Amino acid sequence: MRPAPGNILIVDDEPQVCHLIQEELAEHGFSCQIVTEPLQAKDLLDTQQFGLLIADIAMPRVGGLDLLAYVRQCLPACRVILITGVSTREYLAQAILLGAYDYIEKPFKMKELAETVSRAFSDEAGTASLPARAAEAMEYATHAKLASLESIRALARAGEAKDPHTWRHSEQVTHYAVNLARELSLSEAEVECIRVASLLHDVGKIGVPDSILTKPGPLTDQEFEFIRRHPALGADILANITVFGQEAHLVRYHHERWDGKGYPEGLAGEKIPLGSRIIQVADCMDAMLMDRVYKRGYPVERMLAELERCAGTQFDPKVATAAASWARMSPEKLILPSATQVQRNQALSRQGEAVVGGERG
């Protein structure tokens, strides 16, 4: 069941704020329910369908970020607008990148809120201004935080939070990419750039609808177009954040192919940045070995065979050869599914045989 488009849940521990928002939105034709106890909001989200949640980011026991995470699990089609005070700006980057549609700062104008709500219901893709919103939120943080590893990891988890099957994927891709970069004798400065770009390579998936990322069967052409947009969207987000300029370049081209049949620009051969070629191989290694909602994880030997088979077509042959050699020389460094993942693997449907390299996007 899809949420009713105009049905809104308002959650704030200040009753006066709730009633003011309800009255304003009612004048614009929206149906609203108000809750001043956040725990009650979870019960309503479990039992009713909402098109939009408006929640204060700072509430006792259960805050807006908690409700945002809960909505992503139980009602993924519901959009979330957060209400925040200036003192809570530090949370905005993670909130927006993890799926909040937008935010309003206190004290806010009712007209501004009504316009944001209307846009949330009329904006079909919900991504038109996403790079600017995400970058703006990141710029609120201090430069020290932008440069910190934890801030980078928060960005990396953005796409993964939408699909539990790809949890820790970015960190695992980084593990492979760094080892491959060193296998190819790159400088430590190059290795560091690849390390950060690997962590951020899928941040653009925040612009891909959850229903597509978690679809068990084959994608339609229209659905795959959303997937094809994520490298450019991720690069656009990062390009707006000064400290990630070099990494944005690598992220944009990590789905290009050696034979020119990749995306977003169809670059071929050495026109593709070397760092992007390394990330692509690392990305596919992890995707092949791990379960996905649309395919089972490959045994190690099949993964190695795919690397060698696709060398010179999908992959830079030098990078693919180095990857296969490294994996055979250091099998203990390969990250394999846990026992729990293996059990889930056995239950996965065979619908939608994996694309070459095992990675849908």
Mind telling me the catalytic residues? Answer: 205
Q: Rounded distance, CA 38 to CA 52, Å?
A: 15
CA 166 to chain centre: 10
Q: Residue 144: which residues within 8 A CB-CB, separation 6 or more? A: none
- Tallying the residues shown for the chain, one arrives at 361
CB distance 359 to 283 below 8 Å: yes
Angle at 91 between CA 136 and CA 39, to 5 degrees: 135
Q: Rounded distance, CA 287 to CA 201, Å?
A: 13
